[in-house]
Amino acid sequence: MIYFENDIITIQYDEARQLVFTEWHDFANSEDYRSILNLYLKLVQEKPVKLWIGNNTKAKAIRPADQEWTAKEWAVQFAKAGQLRKMAVVVAEDLFNKMAVENMFIKAAGIVPFDTRYFQSVPDAEEWVLED
């Protein structure tokens, strides 16, 4: 089911698999970016979520202030809120987004209790996330 959708992102939730699939479509300014990440937080508080696939293929740069906020403030709340076990990230075509996402995960190391891996394609990400 589609949990949320706009021009920037589509967020889907698969209840049977307890899986979230996100697909970024475009650049998000700070307000939109933080609002979307807070929707992630709301989703893991409302629904059982164990698996996550983030398709960042079309995502754009993330501002440095938003990277800091994500790693230092948001990640703490997200880690405590749910039961997430695995997160697969399909890397962006945009080099600045790719570096930003990797940077945020490095800064949040030790905070996020789930396994995170990076992939070049959605099928590869799905295969890893869904394996036992």
Q: Higher confidence at residue 106 or residue 19?
A: 19
Q: What size, in residues, is the chain?
A: 132
Residue 50 is predicted with a pLDDT of: 97
> Which residue segments constitute the domains of the chain, with CATH numbers given?
2-130 (3.40.50.10600)
Q: pLDDT by residue (tens digit) across 62-112? A: 999 999 999 989 999 998 887 999 999 999 998 888 888 888 888 887 787
Give CA separation, 10 vs 6, 55, 108, 128, 129, in Å. Answer: 6, 10, 24, 21, 19
pTM: 0.92
Residue 62 is predicted with a pLDDT of: 95
Average pLDDT along the chain? 93
